[in-house]
């Protein structure tokens, strides 16, 4: 239990930030799933457009501190490789 007003404020702030971060992470995962489903369907055009939408969202997650930079770089690299392999 919080003993000071500052600790109570931190609890409120942490709850707000957790909600924002959860929404951001959910949005990123949705974008990645769209790319992966387009890859599985074999539609290169749809996969490319989905990847172009997913990349900025993923990098925004990095800049906001939700995801690690190297993890996002690895995921983008792998998705790009899969999209390029579609013929």
Rounded Cα–Cα distance for residues 17 and 48 (Å): 32
Note the pTM of the prediction, 2 decimals.
Answer: 0.87
pLDDT tens-digit series, residues 20-72: 999 999 999 999 999 999 999 999 999 999 999 999 999 999 999 999 999 99
pLDDT at 87 (0 to 100): 76
d(C-alpha 72, C-alpha 84), whole Å: 18
Residue-level pLDDT at 74: 98
pLDDT of residue 2: 86
Between CA 34 and CA 76 the distance in angstroms is: 13
- Overall fold of domain 5-85: Methane Monooxygenase Hydroxylase; Chain G, domain 1 (1.20.58)
């Amino acid at each position: 239990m919080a003993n000071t007003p500052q600790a109570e404020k931190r609890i409120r702030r942490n709850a707000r930030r957790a909600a924002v971060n959860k929404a951001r992470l959910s949005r990123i995962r949705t974008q990645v799933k769209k790319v992966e489903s387009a890859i599985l369907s074999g539609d290169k055009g749809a996969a490319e457009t989905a990847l172009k939408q997913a990349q900025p969202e993923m990098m925004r997650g990095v800049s906001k501190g939700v995801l690690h930079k190297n993890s996002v770089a690895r995921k983008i690299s792998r998705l790009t490789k899969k999209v390029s392999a579609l013929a």
